[in-house]
């Protein structure tokens, strides 16, 4: 599961999936974290459009996973 504003973290997640999917018996499913920024802020900060093919994760999705890799960017020293 990841959060990405400008695609760098998403690119890392896609590459991780490519690598880990090569492990026998393991399947990686990509999810994004819920967007917390308003549409206005997203427009002002020129955030990249999101790929609708990657769903937003739910608590139920998390419970199905045997393992979770987290990916998120740093913004002013913190992630909220
Ligand atoms: C507003 C803003 C604040 C940032 N603050 C930090 C920071 O405090 N520390 C850091 O290491 N990187 C910081 N960065 C860099 C991002 O974490 C980094 O570019 C990240 O790869 C962006 O990921 P994304 O392209 O998936 O959104 C900041 C970037 C932005 C746009």
Asked whether 37 and 66 are in contact (CB, 8 A), the reply is no
Taking Cα atoms as reference points, which of 5, 79, 1, 80 lies closest to residue 42? 5
Domains and CATH numbers, the chain: 2-72 (3.40.50.360)
Q: Tens digit of pLDDT for each residue in 17-66?
A: 999 999 999 999 999 999 999 999 999 999 988 988 999 999 999 999 99
What is the C-alpha separation between 10 and 77, in angstroms, rounded?
19
Residue-level pLDDT at 76? 81
Residue-level pLDDT at 16? 96
| Pocket-testing residue among 3, 36, 73, ligand 1, by greatest number of atoms within 8 A of Cβ | 73
For residue 46, how far is its CA from the centre of ligand 1 (angstroms)? 14
Residue-level pLDDT at 79? 65
- At residue 78 the predicted structure's pLDDT band, cuts being 50, 70 and 90, is confident
Is the pLDDT at 80 greater than 70? The verdict is no
For residue 44, how far is its CA from the centre of ligand 1 (angstroms)? 16
> What number does the ligand 1 atom closest to the CA of 3 have?
26
Evaluate: CB of 4 within 6 angstroms of ligand 1: yes
E strand or H helix that includes residue 2: strand 2-3
């Amino acid at each position: 599961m990841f959060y990405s504003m400008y695609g760098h973290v998403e690119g890392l997640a896609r590459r991780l999936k490519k690598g880990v999917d090569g492990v026998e018996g393991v399947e990686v499913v990509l999810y994004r974290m819920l967007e917390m920024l308003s549409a206005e802020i997203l427009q002002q900060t020129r955030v990249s459009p999101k790929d609708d093919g990657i769903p937003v994760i739910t608590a139920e999705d998390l419970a199905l996973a045997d393992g979770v890799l987290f990916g998120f960017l740093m913004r002013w020293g913190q992630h909220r």
